[in-house]
Amino acid sequence: MSFKAVLKSVFFLLIFFVMLYVGMNNTDKIDFSFPIASKEKIHAAAGLIFFGVFAAGVLAGTFLHGGSGGGGKKSGSKDK
């Protein structure tokens, strides 16, 4: 996995966090349920829950995309 890809993802998340922070004037709390992980509901601000789910998806996509796959071009070949 490329360190550059992870760094780009962290920067991407930072930008989106700032956008969410500006829009978080609505401090209403919501119940979030994810029964696979826990039977208890999470009671938190909607913006923070949205950002957490978004960040987990972006990082998961980065790790899946940045992994070493079997197919594709080899970077060691040189054309003359």
Per-residue pLDDT of 17-71, as tens digits, reads 877 776 666 667 888 888 888 889 988 887 777 778 888 888 888 888 886 555 5
What is the per-residue pLDDT across 10-26, written as a single tens digit (0 to 9) for each?
Answer: 988 888 887 777 666 66
Is position 22 within any domain?
yes
Is position 77 within any domain?
no
Is position 74 within any domain?
no
Domain enclosing residue 31, as ranges = 3-66
Is position 32 within any domain?
yes
For 64, phi and psi rounded to 5 degrees?
Answer: -70, -40
Q: Residue 22 carries which side chain, given as an amino acid letter?
A: V
Is position 78 within any domain?
no
User: What is the pTM (predicted TM-score) of this model?
Assistant: 0.55
Is position 28 within any domain?
yes
Task: Say what the pLDDT of residue 52 is.
Answer: 80
Q: Give the contacts of 73 (CB within 8 A, at least 6 positions apart).
A: none
Q: Count the domains in the chain.
A: 1
